[in-house]
Amino acid sequence: MSIYGPLQDYVESFLAQRRLSGRPVQVHSPEFGSIPTLSAEAVPIRQPTAEEITSAQRWVEEQRRIAFNHSFEGVYSTPVPESEISVYIRSLERLDMVLSNIERYVHIAFAALRKEEFIRRMFTMMASTKYQLEESKKSNPRYILELHIIREMIQEADNMDEGLMTVLGLKLAS
């Protein structure tokens, strides 16, 4: 099985979450042995300077702007059964809450960790969540996220939030 493409994205996301939670793992392939490009080495953490935090704030805001300027018009619509709409909306609201919490301190995380792919992924999730929440308020909403994807995003966001707060030693009120 190829480790490239979507599978690689999922593996890298999983490894990043494990590293940030302090429980790193390493990926092994029976055919190729250890995959060093995806290894789960420790994430170097240090206290960023005020200048680094200011610079990180600018970069993070630019990534947010890019993600929120993305159009979802060409994205395939998915049917959501009427019986699942209320669960769907509650799940989106939960995801939005967790991502909004992370957004409050993500510039500090970026300044300390320098993980660009993490920031981009978080804002992609946030932009699609906000789009879907707005779309769900319309009389004839268009659904672009499947419920199981939203649930996976909630799990990923919860892991991001918990891992980052632990690693950075943050004590933020939810």
Answer for the pair 155, 91: CB distance below 8 angstroms, yes or no: no
pTM recorded for the entire structure:
0.70
Closest CA to 126 of 152, 103, 149, 151: 103
pLDDT digits (tens, 9 = 90+) for 115-151: 788 888 889 999 999 999 999 999 999 999 999 999 9
Round to whole Å and give the CA distance between 46 and 68: 30
What are residue 34's phi and psi, to 5 degrees?
-65, 140
What are residue 42's phi and psi, to 5 degrees?
-65, 145
Mean pLDDT (the chain, rounded): 79
| % of residues, the chain, pLDDT over 90 | 41
